[in-house]
Amino acid sequence: MELNDLFSLQIFTVLVLFVVSLCGAFVPLRLKTVIKGDLFNVVLSLANSATVGIFLATGLGHMYAHCAMGLNQSGFDPEESLQYASMFCLSGFMLTLFIEKVALAGHGHDHNSLLQTMEEGKSSVPAFLAIVLAVHGVLEGIAMGVERTVGGLRVVLFGMIPHKFFTGMALGISLLKYSLHGLAAAKIAGAWATATPGGILLGMVLVSGFRRGVDSALQGIASGTFLYISICEILHEEFSIPTRRSFNAAKIAAVLAGMAVAFWLEGGAHDHSSGAAGGGGINSSHHSH
């Protein structure tokens, strides 16, 4: 029953993230007319900060922990399990760093660099931005696709929805700035919107094609991916912009709120799993894989 529920949620996640990504790309100006002036940037910044908390809690509190548990249940002793889980987590972090800073060097995922490039009149910015965000989205999707519990995927989806929506807005604003409409805009936005859903499907294939120990290793690598995205991408971007100390404090509070929400959702999922499994909890669902 757990596996059937997981597959259904995975397909639901693919569809939801595709729709949310497209909406984010096509409605930025409409939102700006509803949320005016600096309030728009405040809402965007606080939502981004809350996403950091959700991703940190998911990467360390869920995926890393499940990687170590899975390795232990595969025959490794507890100390070896933690060592290998740490190795896989750091591997995921470094792999994402390499892709972002070496493989995609020069295309820049940093929003300040993108704005500067826009001001220089380079009309290829929307396409470059879409490519960078698509690669970024595939990595996020793979990290979601290797998730093996309903509760864990639900938590990640909760954090991914605002993240994809606001990232889509950055792409949408770029499209509008260069007066890209109709088919051209639809192609760029559509290609980006399919990246994370495609990554999820790829992650599902990777997990289904390997035995248990490899499944746990993929979760460890995914935890490193989420750490990189939350710390080096979103958090760095939010706190690299000079602002008032009170607003920085509000962003830190939003990070903590995101963590609290993630742990609360995960705790509720554990209670539901325990009840369904007759007290076996998540460990029971692992044995059934």
User: What DSSP string runs through 62-93?
Assistant: IIIHHHHHHHHHTT--HHHHHHHHHHHHHHHH
Residue 115 in this model has a pLDDT that exceeds 80: no
- Which residue type is seen at 122? K
Domain layout of the chain by residue ranges? 2-27+79-241
How many angstroms separate the CA atoms of 56 and 62, rounded?
9
37 confidence band (pLDDT: 50, 70, 90)? low
Task: Return the percentage of the chain with pLDDT > 70, whole number.
Answer: 69
Write down the H helix ranges in the chain.
Answer: 2-26, 28-34, 38-56, 65-73, 78-98, 111-119, 125-145, 150-177, 182-193, 195-208, 212-228, 236-239, 245-276, 281-287
Q: Each residue of 172-213: pLDDT tens digit?
A: 766 665 566 677 778 888 888 999 999 999 888 877 766 666
How many angstroms separate the CA atoms of 142 and 201, rounded?
7
Q: What is the DSSP letter of 37?
A: T
Which pLDDT score, from 0 to 100, does residue 129 have? 56
The tokens describing 181, both together, are: 């409409």
How many angstroms separate the CA atoms of 88 and 148, rounded?
17
The tokens describing 137, both together, are: 């989205």
As a dihedral over the C-alpha atoms of residue 61, residue 64, residue 70, residue 73, rounded to 10 degrees, the angle is -80
